[in-house]
């Protein structure tokens, strides 16, 4: 078996497992919380990230009670890229067949900078969507948004708008994570300590270190505290994870 054939076989199996895992609602929510904790460098055991209610709580992590929301870019459907990759891998016999032609307007090749105000407006809109569903949130609930918008990145990292509008929605804390960074926008005094300590700082994904392992676990497709390697985008390649 050639090196290409072996790689394609192994990559196809990994992609199939990821597709199956991420089609599971609970797996997605646990994975988002785990990714958020990884960016903040919070040690954890997989069994500490638990799917429990009651609504609107999705995930328990120690004293944190997360309502988790994923925000996809306009026109995107969850899992499309993975399914397309699975199909491409299944049809390929050499690595060269996986290369994608450069096309004008490809968001991955020419990403668009969003400043903190645009990110804040996205998070505020997500929070409002949840309020429309549940009503005003009263209780110890921590809102976490995964901004999964292809070809969009945060720049500059500072300054951020005053979180007063979000605070009015009643969450105990509001945070976001994307494919390169995370931030706790605000946390009340009764929020978990790790959220209070992280509040007001933007954390970047660590540069991948083979001694540590991969960064984002996909629960249900891998075992232990394995983490999926992040692909550095041009705007993040220079950065190790340092709060700013």
The answer to whether the bond into 54 is cis (omega within 30° of 0) is yes
- Does 145 have pLDDT greater than 60? yes
198-210 pLDDT tens trace: 999 999 887 644 4
Q: What is the pLDDT of residue 237?
A: 31
Give me the architecture of the 3-91+111-204 domain, per CATH: 3-Layer(aba) Sandwich (3.40)
3-14 pLDDT tens trace: 778 878 888 888
Residue 22 token pair: 């991420």
Determine which of 9-13, 47-51, 107-111, 146-150 has the lowest per-residue pLDDT on average.
Answer: 107-111
Query: Which DSSP string corresponds to the chain?
Result: --HHHHHHHHHHHHHHHHHHHHTSHHHHHHHHHHHHHHHHT----GGGEEE--STT--EEETTEEEEEEEEEPTT--TTHHHHHHHHHHHH-SSGGGG-----TT-TTTS-EEE-HHHHHHHHHHHHHHHHHHH-S--SS-EEEEEEE-TTEEE-S------THHHHTTT-SEEEEE-SSEEEEEEE-TTS-HHHHHHBT-EEEPPPPBTTTB-SB--BTTB-TT--BPPPPPTTTTT--S---
Determine which of 47-61, 75-89, 127-141, 173-187 has the lowest per-residue pLDDT on average.
Answer: 75-89
158-186 pLDDT tens trace: 899 999 999 999 999 999 999 889 999 99
Residue 5, CB-side half-sphere exposure with 13 Å CA sphere:
2
- Does 45 have pLDDT greater than 90? yes
- Does 189 have pLDDT greater than 70? yes
Q: What is the pLDDT of residue 110?
A: 65
The Cα 233–Cα 151 span in angstroms is 10
Q: What is the pLDDT of residue 243?
A: 42
- Does 221 have pLDDT greater than 60? no
Q: What is the pLDDT of residue 228?
A: 34
More confident residue, 71 or 228: 71
Beta bridge partners of 199: 184
82-131 pLDDT tens trace: 667 777 777 888 877 777 665 655 555 567 888 999 999 999 999 999 99
Mean residue pLDDT of the chain comes to 78
What does the domain layout of the chain look like in residue ranges? Answer: 3-91+111-204
Q: What is the pLDDT of residue 10?
A: 83
């Amino acid at each position: 078996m050639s090196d290409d054939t072996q790689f394609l076989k192994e990559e196809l199996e990994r992609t199939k497992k990821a597709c199956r895992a991420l089609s599971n609602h609970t797996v997605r929510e646990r994975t988002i919380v785990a990714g958020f904790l990884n960016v903040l460098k919070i040690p954890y055991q997989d069994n500490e990230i638990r799917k429990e209610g009651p609504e609107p709580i999705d995930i328990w992590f120690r004293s944190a009670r997360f309502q988790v929301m994923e925000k996809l870019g306009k026109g995107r459907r969850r899992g499309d890229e993975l399914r397309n990759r699975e199909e491409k891998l299944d049809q390929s016999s050499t690595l060269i067949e996986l290369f994608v032609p450069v096309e004008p307007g490809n968001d991955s090749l020419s990403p668009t900078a969003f400043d903190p105000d645009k990110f804040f407006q996205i998070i505020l809109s997500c929070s409002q969507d949840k309020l429309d569903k549940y009503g005003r949130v009263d209780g110890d609930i921590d809102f976490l948004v995964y901004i999964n918008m292809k070809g969009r990145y945060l720049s500059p990292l500072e300054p951020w708008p005053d979180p007063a509008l979000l605070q009015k929605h009643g969450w105990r804390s509001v945070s976001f994570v994307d494919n390169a960074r995370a931030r706790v926008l605000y946390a009340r005094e009764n929020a978990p300590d790790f959220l209070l300590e992280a509040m007001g700082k933007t954390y970047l994904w660590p540069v991948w270190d083979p001694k540590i392992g991969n960064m984002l676990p996909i629960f249900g497709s891998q075992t232990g505290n394995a983490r999926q390697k992040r692909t550095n985008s041009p705007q993040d390649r220079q950065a190790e994870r340092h709060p700013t």
